Amino acid sequence: MTNKIAYQGVQGAYSEQACKSAFPNLTPIPCESFQEAMWLAENGETYLAMIPLENSTAGRVEEIYRLIPKMKLHVIGEHFEPVTHCLVGIKNTTIGEIKTVASHPQALAQCQGNIALLGLEAIAKLDTAGAAKEISVLQDPTKTAIASKLAADIYDLQILRENFEDVSGNTTRFFILSAEKIVPEYDPKVSYITSLIFQVRNIPAALYKALGGFATNGINLLKIESYMSNNITQGSQFHVDIDGHIDAKAMRLALEELAFFADDVRILGTYESHRFRCQLPK
């Protein structure tokens, strides 16, 4: 078994930090795209892939939700990584001379208020660390990037503002993906999450009927995301994270009812709830 874990971005990306936090014994492998990172895990070139799903400030990572229905990988875990954005520039740069800030669109969205306060032009890039790497090469004092402290250290950049995000407590949730289906043995004392996708039939109240089984069996839905299917005349697709283990009796009953009202039900994975959820307000 390989001891590598794939992530999207270059060295210094927040996804690399997530890999190191969750799997300190695995070697992070940078990839140019989310699809490449997932492909490496799917083909066994890496043991896992660490893929960002959503951020507490900027919402879901749109591209990931487009890729999930097509992937062959299994969700075997989740990871929450605190995000502290830094405004970085080349050495000896001052706030007064900077004009532009570059980063991934998610990072720009998470710092939108502070960007506006400084009157900076925001420039979208493929990833945060890549933006930091680029300004280190350009050596232009008017250009800055939003990136991690790790990226600033790697590319020898000056941190102009730390905690540059608009909202404190900014956190990104990641899916841990594997080519191998790994389902933990059910323990009633442990908190689990089951993630799945399905397509509703094109009939009135289809979603209400499809999800009714979870309500009648006392199962909590943690999140629901909608997709448009490839055929616009068909019913919509949904991604759902459910509080519970697939082998629990109530879950089995709810899934039986879901299958009656929905098409193409696919279980993405069942995994232990991350400890970060215990810190969330009830």
Query: Taking the CB of residue 281, how many other CB atoms lie within 10 A of it?
Result: 3
Partner residues linked to 75 by β-bridges: 177
**β pairing state of 86-89 and 143-147:** antiparallel
Given the residues 23, 34, 80, 174, select the one marked as catalytic: 174
Considering the candidates 128, 144, 172, 194, report the single residue annotated as catalytic: 172
Residue 174 annotated to the active site: yes
Backbone angles phi, psi at 224, to 5 degrees: -145, 130
Residue 214 CA to residue 257 CA, distance in Å, equals 8
Residue type, 240: V
CA angle in degrees (0–180, nearest 5) for 70-75-77? 155
- Give DSSP secondary structure letters for 18-78: HHHHH-TTSEEEEESSHHHHHHHHHTTSSSEEEEEEEETTTEE-HHHHHHGGG---EEEEE
Contact 198, 229 (CB under 8 A): no
Are 7 and 37 a contacting pair, CB within 8 Å?
yes
Residues with Cβ within 8 Å of residue 38, at least 6 apart in sequence: 6, 49, 51, 67, 71, 73, 177
Buried/exposed code over 135-165 (b: 16+ C-beta within 10 A; e: otherwise): bbeeeebebbbbbbbbbbebbebbebbeebb
User: Catalytic site residues?
Assistant: 172, 174
